[in-house]
Amino acid sequence: MSDSPSTIQGEPEAPRGFGWNDSAELHKCADGGGLFHRFKTIRRGTVAQLIDFVMDLPEEKQREYAIQKEGDHRLSIGEIRALFRRADFPKTPD
């Protein structure tokens, strides 16, 4: 008996990319993030749409926002900027 798990056809799993189309919400960083934080949602969309929105803001305003990604992951401005710079970021045409 083998110690390694098998796959149905013996093929390795395809690598997954980042979830650009995952649902997300845009919040003001000062919203407190408490029990009723959903009532303070500024905008909803995909992760890519909200990253694009934040990066279109003036640089001094960008720090005021955070993205709450589906799965309970909060993206702060540093992570938003890093994701925007990725080669696979789905930039919208101007």
Q: What is the CA radius of gyration of the chain?
A: 17
The 10 Å Cβ neighbour count of residue 78 is: 9
pLDDT of residue 2 exceeding 50, the answer is: no
Contacts (Cβ under 8 Å, ≥6 apart) of 17 = 88
pLDDT of residue 15 exceeding 70, the answer is: no
The predicted model scores a pTM of: 0.73
The larger pLDDT score, comparing residue 58 to residue 7, is at: 58
For residue 39, the model assigns a pLDDT of 53
User: Under a CB-based contact definition with an 8 Å cutoff, are residues 31 and 40 in contact?
Assistant: yes
What digits encode the pLDDT tens for the residues 24-78? 999 887 655 555 555 578 999 999 999 999 999 999 999 989 999 987 789 999 9
